[in-house]
A = this chain, B = another copy of it.
Amino acid sequence: MTPSLAKTFFTAMNQASPQAQALGIETLEFEPDAAVLRVPYAEILVGDPDTGVIAGGVVTTLLDHACGQAVMQALGQPTVIATLDLRIDYMRAAEPGKDLYCRAHCYKLTRSVAFVRASAFETREGDPVATAQAAFMLNSSSGLPRAASGRP
């Protein structure tokens, strides 16, 4: 996908997804094998009201969503993919009041599986809140019953 096609597609995909809308997920940047997304800080995303820290589940959802968009970028087209598995390492709490960003990079494609790494952070990718390593099934119509054309 060209950057402008990708922008159109991912914006539409985010808007069509009720849960992506509920979290406020936006896609900001498009690279050949990667995507950068943002979740703006909001009270509704907080897990622990005493700290104001965004819920771990929101971080996870952002990572998962960004990984899927990176796979589509690497494939060069909107495609039916399914998350096969996802591993998340949490380094620290997100800073209260700050937007969360995520950069995901699809570093390997085989005929049936895509492998992705991602990092969620407030300011610098090198100082992550959490990182992820994920595998996605391609052409999942013939495989896993879970088909996700517009994710998360």
A102 to chain B, nearest CB (A): 12
The interface centre, meaning the residue of A17, A46, A57, A88 with most chain B CB atoms within 10 A of its CB, is A57
A4 at the A/B interface (Cβ < 8 Å)? no
Cβ-defined contact, B143 with A113, below 8 A: yes
A111-141, CB under 8 A of B: which get 1 and which 0?
Answer: 1110101000000001010010101010000
Cβ-defined contact, A43 with B56, below 8 A: no
Known: A61-B60, A85-B90. A19 touches B144 (CB 8 A): no
Within 8 A of B (CB), among A4-60: 16-20, 22-23, 43-51, 53-58, 60
A43 to B119, CA, bound (A): 29
Known: A89-B84, A152-B57. A112 touches B143 (CB 8 A): yes
Known: A57-B61, A152-B56. A18 touches B49 (CB 8 A): yes
Query: Knowing that A22-B22, A56-B61, A133-B133 are A-B contacts, what are 5 other residue pairs whose CB atoms are under 8 Å apart, sorted by A's residue number?
Result: A18-B49, A55-B152, A91-B144, A113-B137, A117-B117
A78 at the A/B interface (Cβ < 8 Å)? no
Instruction: Name 18 interchain pairs, CB-CB below 8 A, sorted by A.
Output: A17-B48, A17-B55, A19-B58, A47-B148, A55-B152, A57-B58, A60-B60, A86-B90, A87-B87, A87-B88, A89-B133, A91-B108, A92-B110, A93-B148, A108-B128, A112-B144, A131-B133, A135-B135
